[in-house]
Structure 1
Amino acid sequence: MILYPTMELLNGHCVSLPRGRVEEPSIWHVDPVAKAQEFAHAGAEWMHVTDFDAMQGSNVNRELILEIIRGAGIPVQLGGGFRSRDRIEEWIDLGAGRIVVSTLAAQNPYLVKELATRHPDQIVLSIDVWKGHVMTHMWKMQSSHTPEAFIDAFRDTPFAAIIVTDIGFDIRESDASLGLVSAIAERTRTPVIASGIVRTIDDIARLKLLGEVSGAIVGRALFNRTIDLREALAAARSDTAHVAAFL
């Protein structure tokens, strides 16, 4: 299983947004470029960057993200505000390893399918789920799609991966979130990456036990130091990672 150490950017800072509330960020006082290099030195194969400003139409993080892409030493999976062909192809040309699309997939699925075919292994579909429905526009709008129907609508689309986020994870039992991710992974042949689930090494062990999940995004737990990245990477790669009991 591949771990994607993650940073979320807001106005040039690494942040966490509890429940997606951009007006209430937790700010981590670190250098984003140095942190990206730290991820690489720890042995990460990939990293993930989310640009919250771009989701709101701002380009304030552009130069910072370019520095991260050029200086990290590992490929960057980039998400945030990708709602047009031009912006997606611009960032592919600028060196992003993968581009993550979410709202665009709900608004213009035909364009997303075309882009995935044109740029094999570089387009990632992100599915944010709340109360059984796919959410868009930074979790603010509920679509009519269930995650199952959304997956089926993109059957045979050559995505590099599908990211699944259970928005209600903070208030639900972890087994429910694991069940959601597992059900989606069983429904598609595309590699599935779990997001928002990993807080401890035990959570990595649980994901590995599912068998169908190919990766996990880990962000806040690295910044608040409930997980050591080297230890997490070893657990994700090992066939003998310690087994966590399901509660």
Structure 2
Amino acid sequence: MIIYPTMQLQNGRCVTLEKGRLDEPQVWHVDPVETAKGFAAAGAEWMHLTDFNALEGDSSNEELVQQIIRSAGIPVQLGGGMRSREQVEHWIDKGAGRVVIGTLAARDPHLVQELAKHHPDQIVLAVDIWQGQVMTDGWRKSGAFTPEAYLEAFAGAPFAGILITDIDSDVADTEAQMGLISHLASLVKLPVIASGVVRNTDDISRLKYISNIAGAQVGRALFRKTLSVEEALAVARPESEPVAEFQ
């Protein structure tokens, strides 16, 4: 299972959110570029980056995002504000390893399926869930889709993966979160990346044994220092197969 150390940017600073509330971020006084380099130094193979300003149509973080992509030393999976073909292709051209698409997929599914065909292994479908509904527009609007129906609508599209975020995981119990992720992962053939459910190594251990979970994003726990990248990677690593000893 791949661990994606996760960074969220707002106004040039690293932030984390409670229950998806963009208006009440917790600001972390760290250097975003150096933090990204630290993810790579700790052994991560990928990182995830979300630009919250871009969700509002504000490009003020663009130079910083480009700097992170150039400097991190590992591929960057980038989300936030991908509302047009031009924006998606702009970031692919700028070196993003993958681009995460959410709202655009709900508005123009045909276009997004076409983008996935044109950019194999680079388009990730975001499925953000709040109280049983798929949310769009930076988690502010319900798309009136159940996640099951939404995933069915994109069956067969050649996405690099599906990123499932449980927005209200702060108020849901762990059993419910894992049950939701497990259920949705069982409905698709593409690799699933779980987001919003990792607080500690136990959560990673449980995700690791859910069929079709190929990765997990870890963000807030890293900034709160309740979990390190090294610890997360160690738990996510495949178990070594027992080797028979011959006398």
Query: TM tier, shorter chain?
Result: over 0.9
2:208, 2:236 within 8 Å by CA — same for their partners in 1?
Answer: yes
Structure 2, gaps ≥5 residues long: 241-247
Alignment of 1:12-161 (within 5 A): 12-161=12-161
Equivalent AA in structure 2 for residue 128 of structure 1: D
Deviation at 1:212, TM superposition (A): 2.3
- CA radius of gyration, larger in: 2
Which ranges in structure 1 are unaligned for 5 or more consecutive residues? 241-247
Q: Which residue identity lines up with residue 103 of structure 2 in the other structure?
A: T
The whole-number CA distance in structure 2 between the counterparts of 1:4 and 1:110 is 28
What SS is found at the alignment partner of 1:19?
coil
Cα distance per residue 1:140-173 (max 9 Å; x no partner): 1111211011001001100001010111211111
| Residues 124 and 163, structure 2, Cα contact 8 Å, conserved in 1 | yes
Partners of 2:228 and 2:23 in 1: CA distance: 28
What is the CA distance between 1:132 and its match in structure 2? Answer: 1.3
Paired letter, 1:222: L
| Structure 1 SS opposite 2:209 | helix
Report the equivalent of 1:193.
193
Give the Cα–Cα distance (whole angstroms) in 2 for the partners of residues 137 and 152 of structure 1. Answer: 21
Shift of 1:211: 2.9
Aligned partners of 1:179, 1:146: CA distance in 2, in Å?
16
Matches of 2:177 and 2:202, distance apart in 1? 14
Secondary structure of 1:20's counterpart equals coil
**Offset of residue 189 of structure 1:** 0.7
Instruction: Kindly indicate whether the alpha-carbon contact (under 8 Å) linking 2:116 and 2:122 is maintained by their aligned counterparts in 1.
Output: yes
CA distance in 1, matches of 2:92, 2:68: 14
Partner of 1:165: 165
Distance, in Å, in 1 between the alignment partners of 2:212 and 2:158 is 18
TM-score normalised over the length of structure 1: 0.95
AA aligned opposite 2:138: M
- State the SS of the aligned residue for 1:44: coil
Which residue does the alignment assign to 1:207? 207
Superposed CA offset, 1:204-242 (max 9, x none): 0111122321100000000000001101101101417xx
Percent identity between matched residues is 57
Equivalent AA in structure 1 for residue 35 of structure 2: K
Instruction: Tell me which amino acid in the other structure corresponds to 1:44.
Output: A
Report if aligned partners of 2:47, 2:75 keep a CA contact under 8 Å in 1: yes
Q: Is the contact made by 2:13 and 2:32 (CA closer than 8 Å) also made in structure 1? A: yes
Once residues 168 and 13 of structure 1 are traced to their aligned partners in structure 2, the CA distance between those partners, rounded to angstroms, is 23
- Specify the code of the residue in structure 1 equivalent to 2:41: H
Shift >6 Å, 4+ stretches: none
Give the secondary structure class of the aligned counterpart of 2:186: helix
Q: Distance in 2 between matches of 1:17 and 1:231?
A: 23
Q: 1:179 Cα shift?
A: 1.0
Cα separation, 2, equivalents of 1:166 and 1:228? 22
Name the Cα RMSD after superposition: 0.9
Q: Give the aligned partner of residue 227 of structure 1.
A: 227
